[in-house]
């Protein structure tokens, strides 16, 4: 457990230092499709952003981080059932995107976690978010915010009810 926490902290330090490695914005090799985030209730500390990442290139890439003005810290998370309990964990190594493949970030699965929100995410608004890829560099996208009740997977709850374990 201590080892994992140490890794998580290193991940956060790297994420914090990431703007120093900012590269040219926009890249044809990764296409970001259907970005969205769920609206957050007043006072919420966390939110989540979802999208589909389509790797158009012939080489594997990796989502290594994200940044946005709306939250102090952004992390790449995975939700999974551990011992019968739905939990989420940070992908400190990033999220691999296979050559020519797509990876879907969606409720109950991979997501961009927004930690320490600076203001609530309001339905109907959009906010800018920059994704950082190992090879494709930085790609900025506008994330539309959907109503709190939006549950594309038909599951109740979702991130709104998740607690950090
Ligand atoms: Cu999360």
The domain that holds 120 is classified in CATH as 2.60.40.1890
Distance from C-alpha of 70 to C-alpha of 117, rounded to nearest angstrom: 6
* Residue 37: closest CA among 107, 100, 109: 107
With cut-offs at 50, 70 and 90, classify the pLDDT of residue 148: confident
With cut-offs at 50, 70 and 90, classify the pLDDT of residue 82: confident
In a domain, 92, yes or no: yes
Model confidence, pTM:
0.74
Distance from C-alpha of 93 to C-alpha of 122, rounded to nearest angstrom: 31
Distance 91 CA to ligand 1 centre (A): 10
Residue that is written with structure tokens 């914005």 in the block? 25
Distance 46 CA to ligand 1 centre (A): 8
**Alpha helices (runs of H) in the chain, residue ranges in sequence order:** 2-17
Distance 49 CA to ligand 1 centre (A): 9
In a domain, 36, yes or no: yes
pLDDT at 165 over 60: no
Ion ligand 1: residues, CB within 5 A, are 77, 88, 113
Q: How many domains does the chain have?
A: 1
In a domain, 160, yes or no: no
pLDDT score at 150: 65
3-state secondary structure of 145: strand
With cut-offs at 50, 70 and 90, classify the pLDDT of residue 79: very high
């Amino acid at each position: 457990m201590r080892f994992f926490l140490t890794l998580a902290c290193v991940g956060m330090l790297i994420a914090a230092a990431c703007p120093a490695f900012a590269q040219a914005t926009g890249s044809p090799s990764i296409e970001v499709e259907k970005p969205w985030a769920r609206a957050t209730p007043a006072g919420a500390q966390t939110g989540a952003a979802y999208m589909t990442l389509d790797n158009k290139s012939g080489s594997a890439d990796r989502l290594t981080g994200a940044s946005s003005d709306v939250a102090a810290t952004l992390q790449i998370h995975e939700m999974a059932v551990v011992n019968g309990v739905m939990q989420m964990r940070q992908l400190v190594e990033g999220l691999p995107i296979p050559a020519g493949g797509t990876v879907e970030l969606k409720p109950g699965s991979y997501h961009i976690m927004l930690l320490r929100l600076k203001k609530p995410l309001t339905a109907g608004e959009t906010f800018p978010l920059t994704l950082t890829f190992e090879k494709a560099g930085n790609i900025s996208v506008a994330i539309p915010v959907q109503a709190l009740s939006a549950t594309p997977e038909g599951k109740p709850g979702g991130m709104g009810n998740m607690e950090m374990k």
